[in-house]
A and B are shown apart, each in its own frame.
Chain A
Amino acid sequence: DTEVTQTPKHLVMGMTNKKSLKCEQHMGHRAMYWYKQKAKKPPELMFVYSYEKLSINESVPSRFSPECPNSSLLNLHLHALQPEDSALYLCASSQEFGLNNEQFFGPGTRLTVL
């Protein structure tokens, strides 16, 4: 299984809602990543988990809260988002920690904040 899955595919939420994005991989990869991608822009790294521990937080606002319950699963909890947070959220994984490794990406969750 060489796939990274993400659910849901689409999410619409209000600014007062709480929701979660889910990412799963079964390749035995030890590093997992969250990226945010605005339309017509490259992805921006948000968080990196290595061996289930948060290794990198790229100064992301606290309304985004990552969680890595086990080595296969990565969540992104959303609370009190702003309309400018509307974007494609991509999850990725790699064999080992380090952006110089090949990353496998999921198809993303397209988030709209009203």
Chain B
Amino acid sequence: AQKVTQAQTEISVVEKEDVTLDCVYETRDTTYYLFWYKQPPSGELVFLIRRNSFDEQNEISGRYSWNFQKSTSSFNFTHTASQVVDSAVYFCALILYSSASKIIFGSGTRLSIRP
């Protein structure tokens, strides 16, 4: 069975702190895709990153970085020097190559950045 676990329901930090959002996934498939989406209070989901299972290279984009580790089935997301505008709900998601018609979301992590 496929599953995505985001164990942190809510995180609150002060502006400029670093924060890591955890994502652990379960699948027996060897080919799959992992995503992170951000959902600000305005409602729309915003695509942040996609990784396929053969690309374990970590990614850095400005203040954001992603750490993909197949050995621990994790795809964690770090905000460096967080800003109030980062406040949102963040979803991690898994799609299997064998079933690109099914998307498995984690339950989401609500991140609040206090000024």
Q: Which residues in A have some Cβ–Cβ distance to B below 8 Å?
A: 4, 40-43, 45, 48, 55-56, 88, 90, 92, 98-100, 102-108, 110
**A43–B46 Cα gap in the complex (Å)?**
13
Number of residue pairs across A and B with beta carbons under 8 Å? 50
Contact B100 A99 (CB under 8 A): yes
Contact status A90-B100, CB under 8 Å:
no
Closest-by-CB residue of A relative to B99 is A99
Contact of A105 with B44 at beta-carbon distance under 8 Å, contacts A42-B106, A43-B105, A100-B95 already known: yes
In the bound complex, what is the Cα–Cα distance between A42 and B38 (angstroms)?
A: 11
Instruction: Report yes or no: A56 in contact with B44, Cβ–Cβ below 8 A.
Output: no
CB-based contact B50/A100 at 8 Å: yes
Instruction: Identify 25 residue pairs between A and B in the complex whose beta-carbon atoms are under 8 Å apart, listed by A's number.
Output: A42-B105, A42-B106, A42-B108, A43-B91, A45-B103, A55-B101, A90-B44, A90-B45, A92-B45, A99-B95, A99-B100, A99-B101, A99-B103, A100-B97, A100-B100, A103-B45, A105-B44, A105-B45, A106-B44, A107-B42, A107-B43, A107-B44, A108-B43, A108-B44, A110-B43
Q: Which applies to chain B's interface (DSSP): helix, strand, loop or mixed?
A: strand
Residue among B91, B100, B101 making CB contact with A42, cutoff 8 Å: B91
